[in-house]
Amino acid sequence: MRIISGSLKGRNILPPRSFKARPTTDFAKEGLFNMLEHSLDITSVSVLDLFAGSGGISLEFVSRGCTSATCVEMNAAHAGFIRDTVGKMGLSSQIRVVHHNVFDFLKICTQKYDVIFADPPYDLPGLEDLPSKILNAGVLEDEGLLIVEHPGHCSFTGLPHFMKEKKYGNVHFSFFAYSKTFPTFALPNNQGPVVQPG
């Protein structure tokens, strides 16, 4: 794994072989961030990275200019790896690492974030309800964006606030926003967000 672009471009993220997390592929990460950079001012957003795994998403955000990211990871070894990596890269003032169960964290979190990225285990029980649980927790800004990474067999198109889904290889990202006008994701031909029939 590597950081794709920005001030940390080319830096490797090297978890041990015992690491159990499934990191977002470089191909999918590059596609996602190319889209986001056409839709957001990354330098001005706060990021919440749920099921953070290796911390690669937060590191990519910070490399591209984000100044505030919070990684939430339940696995102690994974959280420790993120903390060590963040320290070695000199990013401790920009990336906060929280060793906590994601659902318990959502219950006690008092901060709101501009972008929330969630990359849950693909076999997470109740995965189909995850976007609603995050959106109902009150941690996303009114003009914020929720991105959920998920397997292809899982579809969120019928959920409230669903905007669109993008696929990069075997990786699927679903996007949610409270605001119907935000963001447009730089869609081809300036078409609006994909709205599924009710």
Tell me, what's the pLDDT at 102? 98
Q: What is the arithmetic mean of pLDDT over 146-168?
A: 93
13, part of any domain:
no
11, part of any domain:
no
94, part of any domain:
yes
Question: How many whole angstroms separate alpha carbon 143 and alpha carbon 177?
Answer: 7
Question: How many whole angstroms separate alpha carbon 24 and alpha carbon 16?
Answer: 16
Q: How many angstroms separate the Cα of 71 from the Cα of each of 61, 68, 95, 101?
A: 12, 10, 7, 11
Per the structure, the complete domain to which residue 84 belongs is given by 26-178
35, part of any domain:
yes
Apex 93 CA angle, 91 and 98, nearest 5 = 90
187, part of any domain:
no
Tell me, what's the pLDDT at 49? 99
Give the percent of the chain with pLDDT over 90.
Answer: 74
Q: What is the arithmetic mean of pLDDT over 123-141?
A: 95
Q: What is the arithmetic mean of pLDDT over 96-110?
A: 97
Q: 183: cis peptide before it, omega within 30°? A: yes
Tell me, what's the pLDDT at 38? 85
CATH code of the domain containing 85: 3.40.50.150
Tell me, what's the pLDDT at 197? 34
Task: Report which of residues 46 and 198 the model is more confident about.
Answer: 46
Question: How many whole angstroms separate alpha carbon 103 and alpha carbon 3?
Answer: 28
Tell me, what's the pLDDT at 183? 57
Tell me, what's the pLDDT at 185? 47
In tens, the pLDDT along 63-87 reads 999 999 999 999 999 999 999 999 9
CA 122 to chain centre: 15
User: How many structural domains is the chain composed of?
Assistant: 1
Tell me, what's the pLDDT at 182? 58
Model-level pTM?
Answer: 0.89
Strand 46-50 vs strand 95-99: parallel, antiparallel, or unpaired?
A: unpaired
31, part of any domain:
yes
**CA end-to-end distance (rounded Å), the chain:** 40
Is 191 a residue whose pLDDT tops 90?
A: no
